[in-house]
Chains A and B, each alone.
Chain A
Amino acid sequence: MQLNPTEISDLIKKRIEGFETDAEARTEGTIVSIMDGIVRIHGLSDVMSGEMIEFSNGTYGLALNLERDSVGAVVLGDYKDMTEGDTAKCTGRILDVPVGPELMGRVVNSLGAPIDGKGPVNASSMNPIERQAPGVIERKSVDEPMETGIKALDSMVPVGRGQRELIIGDRQTGKTAVAIDAIINQKGKNVKCIYVAVGQKASSVAGVVRKLEEFGAMEYTIVVAANASDPASMQYLAPYAGCAMGEYFRDNGEDALIIYDDLTKQAWAYRQVSLLLRRPPGREAYPGDVFFLHSRLLERAARVNAEYVERYTEGRVKGKTGSLTAYPIIETQEGDVSAFVPTNVISITDGQIFLDTDLFNSGNRPAIDAGLSVSRVGGAAQTKIIKKLGGGIRLDLAQYRELAAFSQFASDLDEGTRKQLERGARVTALMTQAQYSPLKTGELAFSLFAANEGFLDDIDVNKVNDFESAMLSYMRTEKTDFLEGLNESGDYNDDIASEMKSALENFKSKGAW
């Protein structure tokens, strides 16, 4: 017979000693109807909105609709053995989840209960899942980079710590891949990561967890999963639960990164719950507050100042700012970004990374559309070297796209145009990057420098990626210290430029690619 870790005599003794034997006074009601995970309860006259309700079989519910003679609530879990006439009790508690470093490396559900079979989570504190975002006074502007290790993103759509950057695209365009690369790239950077999977296949989530383990990224990552087979209420709550776990790090003066994969499915789950609660449907049958659903969630991703952290930790942490960076993911249908939920989330976030099906299918992966992707605040947070070297890339690509479309009609081109086209083709080739291979700042700088300074111009377009990987492995062995220095400082000046130039010349003279 297997014993539970909680079944140790001392623990049992402590619990019995600490057990309160007072009579408990609570308001009770009876279940009037139950269908599709929604219960209507008669009674419960002083229930609060958002309060947890305990049912007689031990499962919990969340009071969402307070009406004159009944309370509408969603069941958080299985409702198959609940029947009409069962009692429902108020708990006086707002829904909360365990938070803290104890959750690292774990896979939990929307209520913070572990689902990875690794035993209980011994988290020391609990936080409510719905909290007000920090106010204006408590914030600090974004000025530190959150590097994804993806060339196209770090150079063209940089993201700062505390920013919200949307990843948007059709199905099968590599949205999750971008997010997972961003998590893998945080290794050794002291950034805690939270991956919230909403409405995905359990096998996909297991695949992501396995990949994260493979790259040693699970040590600093929490996975919150509400799978496709879980009730809609759990899928609706998962992002808030993940956010509460991320906020813990933000409020304790650390940096955290949270991925919501994806908010479209959360909006669907919320639509289901709302329609079953008989709230009136609006556009695309979503309820009226679907904007607030996402805005209140994303507003909690923020950079907070040192005073806020000090006040929150009661003086334990001094002089440190905290941040929570969010990468929400939205799946579009047939590239339609003007649907209800995509437009909402585009307007809430500080920019978007647009992934394009055609680019993906023509082999440009990650399939980032450089024209439609923007970052509204990230530029302020770029390291000096990437800002300097990456500026030219965006321009090169923009001019290339325009010329490439135009030159299809022209038979012969002048020298300048031809050169720009060739440069553009090489930069496009350079921006492709294999999955799970994020680059460090120094490596990225070398790649960008090579493109800017024309080192790629005489390389065959098909050979650009071979050239790059050979160049980077050369630099890793020959210029280890210099690369480390670049990774650390991110500085750029004439000395660094000339050293990079001579290193590239040395490598090129060997012709080994």
Chain B
Amino acid sequence: MSELTTAARPYARAVFEMAESAGSLGEWSDMLGFMGAIASDEKVSALLATPKMAKQAGADAFVQLCDGKLNEQAKNLVSMLAENDRLSLLPEMSAIYEVLKDEAEGSVEAIVTSAKALTETEEKSISDALKKRLGRDVKIKVSVDETLLGGAIIQAGDLVIDGSLKGRLSKMTSVMAN
């Protein structure tokens, strides 16, 4: 996984710089996300991994799968990736691209997992608090996990803020055990 990231980074950065100068960050975000989803499909990855598949044929098949959603530059990217045997990196590229895009736009994505569905005011207060702490605009993704019992876990990049009842109970267990 970490090796994939290392390999995908130069591609993602190149695409990002190109998109930034062309002012098409959003368009590329959609295209990369779409291509990433296709490349991570089991059947597609099995097809691309077939040894018999010629490089250009693989690229053509991939472009056809994307069904006209790609512009010329994206098609070039696909054929270059096929040439270098890197089509499987598209999901990682998409993820790195999103991080770079968020950085450039001064925003960050936070995943909030809570025990009960959050009300709008709660969501607002979490997003305000996070904005204060991280110094960036926060895009919140919400999900519900009843096993947390109470509270919520906020995940923004590598940072995890565990305010769930489950987390506190397990912390208490380890404190009592030692």
* Contacts from A to B (Cβ < 8 Å): 6, 12, 15-16, 19, 21, 23-30, 32, 40, 42-46, 58, 67-70, 89
Question: Quick one: which of A16, A21, A24, A42 contacts B161, CB cutoff 8 A?
Answer: A24
B174 at the A interface (CB under 8 A):
yes
Question: Quick one: which of A27, A28, A40, A89 contacts B2, CB cutoff 8 A?
Answer: A40
- Note all chain A residues with C-beta closer than 8 A to B9: 69
B132 at the A interface (CB under 8 A):
no
Dominant SS among interface residues on chain B: helix
B158 at the A interface (CB under 8 A):
yes
If A12-B176, A15-B176, A24-B171 touch, whether A42 touches B160 (CB-CB below 8 Å) is no
Say yes or no: A46 contacts B158, CB within 8 Å: yes
Minimum distance in angstroms from A506 CB to a CB of chain B: 64
If A15-B175, A15-B176 touch, whether A27 touches B5 (CB-CB below 8 Å) is no
Dominant SS among interface residues on chain A: mixed
Question: Quick one: which of A12, A16, A19, A27 contacts B160, CB cutoff 8 A?
Answer: A27
Question: Quick one: which of B151, B159, B167, B175 contacts A27, CB cutoff 8 A?
Answer: B159
Per-position binary interface string of chain B over residues 159-175, scored 1 when its CB falls under 8 Å from any chain A CB and 0 otherwise: 11111000110011011
Q: Which residue of A lies closest to B167 (CB)?
A: A24
If A15-B175, A29-B158, A44-B158 touch, whether A23 touches B163 (CB-CB below 8 Å) is yes
18 A–B contact pairs at CB < 8 A?
A6-B176, A12-B176, A15-B175, A16-B172, A19-B172, A21-B168, A24-B161, A25-B160, A25-B161, A26-B159, A27-B158, A28-B159, A42-B1, A42-B5, A46-B158, A58-B174, A69-B3, A70-B2
B6 at the A interface (CB under 8 A):
yes
Say yes or no: B2 contacts A67, CB within 8 Å: yes
- Note all chain A residues with C-beta closer than 8 A to B68: none
B157 at the A interface (CB under 8 A):
yes
Q: How far is the CA of A70 from the CA of B5 in the complex (A)?
A: 9
Q: How far is the CA of A8 from the CA of B3 in the complex (A)?
A: 50
- Note all chain A residues with C-beta closer than 8 A to B159: 25-28
- Note all chain B residues with C-beta closer than 8 A to A32: 1-2
Of all A-B residue pairs in the complex, the 8 with the closest CB atoms, nearest first, are: A23-B163, A70-B2, A69-B2, A69-B5, A27-B158, A28-B160, A25-B161, A45-B158
Q: How far is the CA of A284 from the CA of B105 in the complex (A)?
A: 52
Q: Which residue of B lies closest to A56 (CB)?
A: B170
Q: Which B residues between 132 and 178 are near A, CB-CB below 8 angstroms?
A: 151, 155, 157-163, 167-168, 171-172, 174-176
